[in-house]
């Protein structure tokens, strides 16, 4: 997103989304404690976002231990927090303009893993400016995390955020790369280092509770049509949770729509069993002399 296209009205919408997200993450993080269910925290965060802004940019991600992303509770999920590492990743939109941020809450007794991701994020934010390459930021993130004795998650990256699109260019790696692209004034980017005790590669699990619209096609099945209508009306191209759907046959309808190529599913991304993953994330607007952190 070039600076010429980032009008002051647009900038204000990003800022509002960021302010709401900061407040909601602070509130929701205090509710992450042993015995509380994942579903309670997800519903609380999403409800507060809807109260304070236009809506959720994506379902509240609650990733535990080896999980890194795309984990959100199902409608009947009874899982409770225990002595675990918990990443809470939420998004807010105002007129489709998105802020994306994450915090890690340590219930596992692994504070340095949380610090590694947080310090890597701080180091990245210090050097981001127009003309700086994404590869340079990736190198800084990797150096900090490895300095703690951990590994960056090499196949996850930061990303641009646009209107109704939570993942746009540029990609911002969490490792050093030979080539990158330069940040420009007006770019809106989510920087999100992931640190892990594992090998630094995540893979897809078998479970998915998050979907987004891929192709708006006609479908014959009544329940599928009902779900598709709700998705196009309320969520457009933003990711949504199956538990948000009003249909009594939502899961069947989602499967049918996915088979037809109408919906795209996001399986949970996981490190190896027994490993831990921490995450820290802010959304920034690139300015003439650095960046403005809209979620801090």
- Tokens 């831990």 belong to 276
Distance CA 252, CA 249 (A): 6
167 is annotated as an active-site residue? yes
Instruction: Name the active-site residue from 84, 106, 118, 281.
Output: 281
Structure-block tokens of residue 145: 């995390």
Tokens of residue 224, six digits: 């599928």
> Does the annotation mark 159 as catalytic?
yes
Catalytic residue among 46, 100, 119, 142: 100
Active site residue 281: yes
Catalytic residue among 77, 122, 167, 251: 167
- Catalytic, out of 106, 118, 192, 271: 192
Residue 285: which of 172, 135, 184 has the closest Cα? 184
What is the 3-state composition of the chain as percent helix, strand, coil, each rounded to the nearest 5? 35, 30, 35
Catalytic residue among 89, 106, 209, 271: 89
Q: How far is CA 231 from the centre of its chain?
A: 19
DSSP 8-class letter at 80: B
The closest alpha carbon to 44, from 15, 73, 64, 66, belongs to 73
Catalytically annotated residue among 159, 187, 209, 275: 159
DSSP string, 276-290: -EEE-BEEEEEETTE
* Residue whose tokens read 């989602």: 254
DSSP string, 94-163: ETTEEEEEEEEEE-SS-HHHHHHHHHHHHHHHHH--TT-BHHHHHHHHHHHHHHTT-EE-TT-EEEEEEB
Instruction: Assess contact for 66 and 274: CB atoms under 8 A.
Output: yes
DSSP code of residue 243: G
Copy the structure tokens of residue 111: 């504070």
Backbone angles phi, psi at 154, to 5 degrees: -75, -25
Catalogue the active-site residues.
Answer: 89, 100, 159, 167, 192, 281
């Amino acid at each position: 997103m070039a600076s010429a296209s980032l009008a002051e009205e647009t900038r204000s919408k990003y800022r509002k989304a960021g302010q709401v997200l900061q407040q909601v993450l602070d509130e929701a993080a205090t509710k992450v404690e042993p015995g509380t269910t994942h579903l309670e925290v997800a519903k609380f965060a999403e409800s507060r976002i809807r109260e304070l802004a236009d809506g959720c940019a994506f379902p509240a991600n609650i990733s535990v231990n080896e999980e890194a992303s795309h984990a959100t509770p199902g409608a009947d999920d009874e899982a409770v927090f225990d002595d675990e590492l918990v990443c809470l990743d939420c998004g807010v939109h105002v007129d489709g303009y998105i802020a994306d941020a994450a915090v890690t809450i340590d219930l596992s007794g692994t504070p340095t893993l949380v610090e590694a991701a947080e310090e890597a994020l701080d180091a990245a934010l210090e050097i981001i400016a127009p003309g700086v390459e994404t590869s340079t930021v990736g190198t800084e993130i990797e150096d900090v995390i490895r300095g703690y004795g951990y590994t960056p998650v090499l196949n996850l990256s930061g990303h641009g955020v646009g209107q109704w699109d939570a993942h746009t260019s540029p990609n911002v790696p969490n490792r050093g790369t030979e080539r990158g692209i330069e940040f420009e004034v007006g770019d809106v980017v989510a920087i999100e280092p992931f640190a892990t005790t594992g090998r630094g590669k995540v893979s897809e699990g078998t479970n998915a509770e998050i979907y987004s619209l891929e192709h708006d096609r006609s479908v014959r099945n009544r329940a599928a049509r009902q779900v598709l209508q709700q998705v196009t009306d309320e969520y457009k191209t933003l990711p949504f949770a199956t538990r948000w759907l009003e249909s009594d046959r939502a899961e069947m309808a989602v499967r049918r729509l996915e088979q037809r190529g109408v919906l795209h599913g996001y399986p949970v991304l996981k490190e190896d069993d027994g490993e831990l993953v921490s995450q820290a994330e802010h959304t920034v607007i690139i300015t003439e002399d650095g960046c403005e952190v809209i979620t801090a």
